[in-house]
A and B are shown apart, each in its own frame.
Chain A
Amino acid sequence: MIIGYYPGCSLSGGGIELDLSVKALVGVAGVTLREIDDWNCCGASAAHSTNHDLSVALPYRVLSLAEEQGLEQVVAPCAACFSRLKGTHLRLERSDELARKMADIVGRSYNRTVRVLSLTDFVRLLLAGGLADKLTHKLTGLKVAAYYGCLLSRLPQCTVAEDDIEDAERPTSMDAAIRATGAEPIEWNFATECCGGGLSLSKTDAVVRLSGAILADAKDAGAAAVVTGCPMCHSNLDMRQGAIHAAGLGGSPDALPILYLSELLGLAAGVPPEQLGLNRHFTDAMRLTRGAADEARSAPAAAGGGGS
C-alpha cells in the first residue's frame, strides 16, 4: 500500500519525533509513504488568521498536487495540517463555487478525490492492515492519558464525519490504538482542553497555566504518560514542562513523558527508542523504555498527591 505523506513544517523541525516515529511505523507495517512532491505550507496559523482565500488556496494546491501525483490517501500527521487539508477538502466538496474560485486563484484543478488522514485515522488503518499483530513488545500496565487537544477533536465535521464513531466532546479514537499496545487509556477530564496552542511564544504564561492544568489532571487520573497527535501540543506539554513545574503548576513535580501516538506504537513494535526520537524530548521519555512496564506501574503511586 502506498500512502501520500504530507509532513508540513513541523515534522522537520520541532515535531521531528513525529516524522521519525511515523516513518519507523510504516517500516514495521510494510506500507510505503510517498511524500507529495513540491508541497507547500498548509495554511495553518499565519495564513488563516490573515486571509481566508489564502488559507484555502494553500491546502488546495497541496490536495491538487496529491491528486495529480496519483495519491488517493494522504496522511498529515500534524493535527493542524490535517485540519487545514481535510477542512479544505470538505469545503470544496460542499461548494462548487469555491472549487471554481480556487481553481482560478491557484491555476490548478482538483477533482476532490483525495482522502486526508489524521494521525489517528492513519494508525487505525495500519492496525487494521496487520500492524496490530506486530506489536509484540506489550506495554502492559502503562497508564496513558489520550490527549486530543483541539484539532484532533474539532472541527467535528473533520473528525467525526469519517466513520461517525467520534463524539467531538468526548473523543475516543486513540483508545483502540493505545489498547493495541497493551497500555491502558485512562479516564480523565482534560482530553480536549486547550494547551495554549500558538501562544507558546507570545503569551508563555497562558501556556504554562493551561498546559499545567492538563498535566495536573493527567497525573491525578494516574497517567504515567500523555499521548498526543499534535506537534504544538507536544511542544507545550513537553518543552514547557520545566517552566510549568517551576511555576508550581502541573500537579506533582514528577516529570510526565509526552509521547506521540506513533512513538507509543513504535515502542510496542520493538523499534529502538532512538529511532523513534524518544531521546530528543525535553522531558525524559526514555525512562519508559528502562524496564518500561515496571516503572510505569509504580508511576501512578508517585503522582498521587497533585491537584492545583
Chain B
Amino acid sequence: MARVGVFICHCGENIARTVDCPSLAAAAARLDGVVHAADYKYMCSDPGQTMVREAIVKHQLTGVVVAACSPRMHERTFRSAAAAAGLNPYLLEMANIREHCSWVHSDKAAATAKALDLLRMMVEKVRRNRALTPIRVPVEPTAMVIGGGIAGIQAALDIAAGGKKVVLVDRSPSIGGHMARLSETFPTLDCSQCILTPRMVEAATHPNITLMTYSEVDAVDGFVGNFEVTIRRKARYVDPAVCTGCGECWAKCPQKKIASEFDAGLGLRAAIYRPFPQAVPNKPVIDAAHCIRLTRGKGCELCRKACPRDAIHFDDADAIQKVKVGAIVLATGFDLWDHAAYGEYGGGRLTDVINGFQFERLASASGPTGGEIRRPSDGQTPKTIVFVQCCGSRDEKQGLPYCSKICCMYTAKHAMLYRHKVHDGRAVVFYMDIRSAGKGYDEFVRRAIEADGAQYVRGRVSRIYRRHDGKLIVRGADTLAGEAVTVEADLVVLADAVRPRAGARPLAQMLGVGSDANGFYSEAHPKLRPVETAAAGVFLAGACQAPKDIPDTVASASACAAKVLGLFAAPQLEREPIVARVNRELCAHCRACIKGCPYGAIEDFEVKDRKGNLVKVVASVNEGLCQGCGTCAAICRSNSIDLDGFTDEQIFAQIATME
C-alpha cells in the first residue's frame, strides 16, 4: 500500500500569492494514498528539506510529491534529500505549481484548484513509481574546445593545467581570434598582442593540448562523457610538419591584392598566407578561392618552386578525423553587424566610415599603417574623428534590441588612443548612454573625457554623408543641449553591434544547444548555471553566449574549465535512469523503433536458449545511448516498449485523475 507524503512550498510569495497553500495541503491530505501533507514558506531551504527527510522516516513514506517550482530548478535538491532519508530518489516527484500555475494566473481560487489538479496527478504518478538506479557510463577524459580565440585558449589552458587532454579546434589558419587583432585593451591599455601571444604559444606547446587549426566540426554524435566529433581538417596545401614558415612562398605569390580578413579589409595578403606574423601555428595555408594554380587547375606554382622544403602540395584535400571526447566547450565568439543596412550612414559605401575592428587595425602597431591613424581613402591623418556608439545595437527595427556591452568601453579607448597619437586631433563621441560598469571602467571613460579631451555628445547621429570636398558630414542631435549638431569629420568609426558568429546556429543544432532570440547560445540558467547548456557536457565560454569583454570572457572560460574538470573527476558518470525498456516477450521485432530512434540507441538482440540456439531476435535499448525521449515507446506497434519513470500506466493514471 502506497504511503505518499506531500510537501507544498510557498516559494516566499511566488506561489502563496496566487495559490492558497494551507488549504491545498488540507485537500492533499485527503487524497488516496496520501498519509502526510504539509506546507512551508521555503521548502528548498534547510528547514524545509529537513521536514521532508524527517517525514519520510516518521511516516515510512513510499513516495513523495513536492509541489513547488519546476523540476528543472529543484528536483535534484529534493531527490538528494529523499536519498539522505533512505528513500530511492526516483520515488520523489515534483508538481510544478509555480511556472505552470502561480506565475501565469491571477485568480487565486482558480489557481488553487489547478494546483490541486497538478498535485493530484503527481500523487497518482508517484503511487506507480518504481525505484530506479542511476546508469553509470564511462567518461572519456578529453575535452574539445571549439573556437581558438581568447575564450577557447583560456578554457583549453585551464583544462590542460588540470591534467586533462584538450583538443582545440579553430576554423581559421591560426588561433588568436579577435583579440589578436586588437591594439590595446581597456581599462589598462596594455597591448593585446603582448598579453595574448604568449598564451597562444603556450596552447600550441602544452603537452595536454592538441591544436587543430583550419578545421571545422562537421558532426557530433554521442552524449556527455562519450561524444564522437567529426572534424573536417581543411586542405592547407602546405604540409605543416615540413614547412618552416620562412616566407619564401608568400613573397613569390603573384596574387597579392586580397583583402586581409585579419586587417578587417584594410590590409592586403597573398593567396598563400599566414593571417598575421605572430600566427600560431606560424605556417601558411593556400586560399583555394584566390590561388591561380588551384582555380585554373594548372600554371603558376611559383610558391611551390620557391619553397626550399618542398612543403607545398596542390593535391592536398580535406581530411575527416573523428575524435572521442567527454565534454565540449563552445567558444565560437562573435562577429560585428554590418552597418551597410543603415542607408542613413552611407549604407556601407563610404570608405572612411569604418567599424571598430578597422580602427583597431589602424591603431595597432602590427596593422596596415604601422599604428599610425590614417584614413583608408587617401592615407591622410584625420583631424576630426566622429565615433558613433550603438550602431545597430538597441535598434529593434534592425532586430537587435540588446546592448552590445563592449562598445562604450572600446569607443572611449579609441578616442583615447587617437588623442594619444594625434595630439591636435578632435575626437567626438555620440552616445545614447554610457554603460561603463566594471572595475576601473567608469574611471577609464572619465579619463577619456577629462584627461584626453574626447568630446562626448549625448544623442543619435541621423545622417552621415560625404561632401564633394571629401569631408564626412555627421549630423546628429545633442539631446542635453537640445539642439541639432553637425560635425565635419575626416573619419567616422561606427561601433557596430555584436552578433553571434556566422554558422553558430547549425553548430548549436548539432549539439542540442539552444539559441536565444538574438542567436546567442542559451545557458542552462541565466544566474545559477551560466556556462552550462541544456545539453549535458556542453559548456559556453565567451561571447557566443552574449556580448562579453575580455575579462568576462576569460572568467567564463575558466568557469567552463572548472565544470569540465569536475565532470572528469570521476571515472564514471551517473546518468538519469530514464531510459526505454523493451519487453522481450512481446517484441515482434518489427524494427520500427530501431528506425525511429533519433539517437541510434536501439539495436537487434538475439535471444538464445541455454544451449545457445537462437530463439528469436528482439529490439534492445543501449542504456548508454538512450536519451529517454520516448519516441520508440510511441512508435512501438505491439506496445512492448515503456519508458522508465514515465510508463504508460503512470501517464494514464495522471490523465485519468484530472478534473
Contact = CB atoms under 8 A, between A and B. Distances in A.
Interface of A: 167-170, 189, 217, 220-221, 306-307
Nearest to B466: A189
Contact of A221 (B342, B468, B469): B468
Interface residues of B, number: 10
What secondary structure prevails in chain A residues at the interface with B?
loop
B438 interface: no
B468 A220 contact: yes
A167 B468 contact: no
B396 to A, nearest CB: 14
Interface centre among B343, B466, B468, B473 (most CB of A within 10 A): B468
A9 B469 CA distance: 41
Given A189-B473, A220-B467, 15 more contacts: A167-B343, A167-B347, A169-B343, A169-B344, A169-B347, A170-B344, A170-B347, A189-B465, A189-B466, A189-B467, A220-B468, A221-B468, A306-B468, A307-B467, A307-B469
Contacts of B473: 189
Contacts of A220: 467-468
A307 B347 contact: no
Contacts of A307: 467-469
A213 B118 CA distance: 70
Contacts, number: 23
10 contacts: A169-B343, A169-B344, A169-B347, A170-B343, A170-B344, A170-B347, A189-B466, A220-B468, A221-B468, A307-B468
Contacts of B344: 169-170
Leading 5 A-B pairs by shortest Cβ distance: A169-B343, A170-B343, A189-B465, A220-B468, A169-B344
Interface of B: 342-344, 347, 465-469, 473
A167 B346 CA distance: 12
A170 B473 CA distance: 16
Contacts of B467: 189, 217, 220, 307
Nearest to A216: B468
Contacts of B465: 189
A97 to B, nearest CB: 25
Nearest to A169: B343
A53 to B, nearest CB: 28
Contact of A169 (B342, B466, B468, B469): B342
A168 B343 contact: yes
B468 to A, nearest CB: 4
B627 to A, nearest CB: 43
Contacts of A221: 468
A169 B340 CA distance: 11
Contacts of B342: 169
A220 B465 CA distance: 13
Contacts of A168: 343
A237 B343 CA distance: 24
Contacts of B466: 189
A307 B465 CA distance: 14
A196 to B, nearest CB: 15
A167 B465 CA distance: 16
Contacts of A306: 468
Contacts of A167: 343, 347
A207 B538 CA distance: 63
